[in-house]
Amino acid sequence: MAYSQKNNPFKKKVTRKVCLPKAKIASMSSEAKQKVINAKQAAANKGEQVRSSKSNVTGTDSKNLKDWVNQDWRQLGDPSKKCGEN
């Protein structure tokens, strides 16, 4: 029986959710939001975990890494949900 990569327990799981700081989501246009969502879904459809670097978001207003991590992270598709909720 051949080993199947499909059942590999160490393979990273693909997600379609995009999480950004709540303040950044509020300042983005609907076109910019859709561009990031589409890039993440395209990557997920290919089985990749990370979206294209062409869709990177800049200007997330943080002084340092600790400040960046402690921001209020929300799902881009539904900002009422925190970044990990279903």
d(CA 78, CA 81): 6
Domain boundaries defined on the chain: 16-51+62-81
Of residues 36, 4, 44, the one with CA closest to residue 18: 36
Please tell me the distance from the alpha carbon of residue 18 to that of residue 51, in angstroms, as a whole number: 9
Task: State pLDDT tens for residues 14-38.
Answer: 788 899 999 999 999 999 999 999 9
pTM of the model: 0.73
Q: What is the pLDDT of residue 47?
A: 84
